[in-house]
Amino acid sequence: MSETWPKQIQLTIDETRYWEGLGRQQMDFHQVIGELIDNSVSASDKTSDEELMPFTIEIIIQRIGNKVRIKVADEGLGMSQNDLTNNILSPGGRGDSKGPLNEHGFGLKNALCMLTSGNKLPFKIQSRDSTAVDEGNYYIVNGPFSFQMEVELDNPDNWNVNLTRAVSPRGTRIYAETTFEFLNTLYKRARTLDSIIERLGEHLGVMYRGYLSIPLNKIWLRWQDLGNDIENPNNAAPWREEKVIKIEIPYDFNGFQEREIPIDIDGVTSIVKYREGLLDRGAVEDASNGWVYPLKIYYRGNIHTQGIDIMVRERIVKTGQLTEIWTDRERHNTQNYFIGEIELDEQFRTVNNKTAIDPHNLYWKELMNQFNQQSSGYNPTRRTGRQPEKDIKDKLKVILNAAPDSEAHLEYPIWSGSGLSIDIYHKFLNGTLDIYEVKTDTAEPIDVYQVLMYWDGIVKDENKSPRLGRLVAKNAPESVINMIDDLNSRQDSLGNNYKIEFKTIESFGIT
């Protein structure tokens, strides 16, 4: 006897205000997409010992004027017919396959209502579990949420539309329509689809770096701008595709300090891992690290991004946490290079939309109690394990003074009473001079501009060009070297070419 299709979905709520309310949360686009990715990660197949198998997730984004089409596809276990009709779509409902990121049972509903402006725009759920594959069925559910929702059988030709990576016969595809304004919430400075997707790659590279540390786990972004006229395909830009790369915390050459913090509640112990260190700002700017670099959102060495990340079950849920952890500390620019990470296990809970840790969780409360009983945490002004900048300057001055017929000066005033000074001013008896900018860490683009400012100050104050401008640091990324090469093709106001070079601290014999 053949089955009867479609099948009625047993939805427990058909209240318009409920679904609209789910669409009015404080979530940006990348956080919403994260809910769908979490589901795909958790739906990955498992080994006999319940370890997740490697996954491939493909995210499709098409812009048509102010409308944006979204599809998140995976090659996971898929949703069973029973899950679709009785579990998945009800508030708090979860399917039979529970993974590390299936915590609340609200993620799919949250995401769909946020994307569709409170259940007002179209969405579709396509899924195939092993049974569907064996029977040759393709399940589909068409939104919006209502008591009239049904599980239907879809045309097989619709299964892999626009997909190139997540194309296995089993898995799930979530399709929704949203607005360009909501897409843009992931990085409001962006104006083009390409620049927005690049920043989405940055978000996802941070959020899922724990999972992306396994090379076989892959998240792909594929996008296309169709222009304003969908009927005229000549206006469409070609498809672009990039693989999301993991974005690690860019610690400086000292690395990080790590300690384990045991938290015991009613005889159940959680081992929290805590790491802290200082930022390597140059690594953030180094374009050779791959697509999305230089970073524009995370680890910027400013007040907004100072602090630590919080990882729960390999998923980053918060970044730049400082005053939220140490309640007696204020954000200040002296803390700008302070970075680190708290790694939490399954005893810790997140809020329903995974944008924060549940503040009422007993393990979290005890962890915060332990942090605040200690001193104010790692003090980033204490440069443990590195030579102070002044020591390097003093040693370099001695080395330069050994050159015949020359004299080196520290903190040489420049720009006529502005209060600015050159780190080292090295003058020779024949009238030529070299200028130095000294840094203890990896050189950054702003350091090159500092040398340029010194050079132009000498031209203005002394009406002559230096012989050489040197940037001295631990090392320099490709972006710094390229900037120096570009500046050396230009001339100062006296018509002389800039001559700036980078030298390592080690090259002067300073260790």
| Span 283-304, average pLDDT | 92
Nearest to 261 by CA among 189, 369, 356: 369
Q: What b/e sequence results for 15-34 when a residue is b if at least 16 CB atoms lie within 10 Å of its CB, and e otherwise?
A: eeeebeebbeeebbbbbbbb
Nearest to 434 by CA among 358, 342, 508: 508
Rounded Cα gap, residues 136 and 179, in angstroms:
35
Residues in the chain: 511
250: Cβ–Cβ under 8 A, 6 or more apart, which residues? 279, 280, 281, 283, 284, 299, 339
Rounded Cα gap, residues 496 and 487, in angstroms:
12
H or E element that contains 371: helix 362-373
**Residue 243 pLDDT greater than 80, yes or no:** yes
Rounded Cα gap, residues 244 and 209, in angstroms:
9
pLDDT class for 416, splitting at 50, 70, 90?
confident
DSSP string, 404-462: TTEEEEEEEEETTTSSEEEEEEEEETTS-EEEEEE-SS---HHHHHHHHHHHHHHHHHH
pLDDT class for 1, splitting at 50, 70, 90?
very low
Q: What is the pLDDT of residues 188-226, one digit of tens each?
A: 999 899 999 999 999 999 999 999 999 999 999 999 999
Rounded Cα gap, residues 30 and 437, in angstroms:
40
Between 419 and 346, the more confident residue is: 346
506: Cβ–Cβ under 8 A, 6 or more apart, which residues? none
Range name among 42-56, 234-248, 294-308, 425-439 with the lowest pLDDT average: 42-56
Q: What is the pLDDT of residues 40-51, one digit of tens each?
A: 999 998 776 677
Q: What is the pLDDT of residues 437-478, one digit of tens each?
A: 998 888 888 888 889 989 999 998 999 999 999 999 988 988
pLDDT class for 104, splitting at 50, 70, 90?
low
Q: Encoding tokens for residue 374? A: 């200690």
Rounded Cα gap, residues 485 and 432, in angstroms:
22
Q: What is the pLDDT of residues 116-163, one digit of tens each?
A: 998 899 999 999 999 999 999 999 999 998 888 999 999 999 999 999
Rounded Cα gap, residues 488 and 480, in angstroms:
12
Helix extents (H) in 303-361 = none
pLDDT class for 16, splitting at 50, 70, 90?
confident
Q: Encoding tokens for residue 325? A: 């952890």
Between 15 and 280, the more confident residue is: 280
pLDDT class for 382, splitting at 50, 70, 90?
very low
**Residue 482 pLDDT greater than 80, yes or no:** yes
Q: Encoding tokens for residue 223? A: 């996008």
Q: What is the pLDDT of residues 158-189, one digit of tens each?
A: 999 999 999 999 999 999 999 999 999 999 99
Bridge partners for 101 per DSSP: none
Q: What is the pLDDT of residues 319-351, one digit of tens each?
A: 999 888 887 777 777 788 899 999 999 899 888
Say how far residue 58 (Cα) sits from the centre of its chain.
Answer: 18
pLDDT class for 381, splitting at 50, 70, 90?
very low
DSSP string, 307-323: EEEEEETTEEEEEEEST
Rounded Cα gap, residues 22 and 112, in angstroms:
9
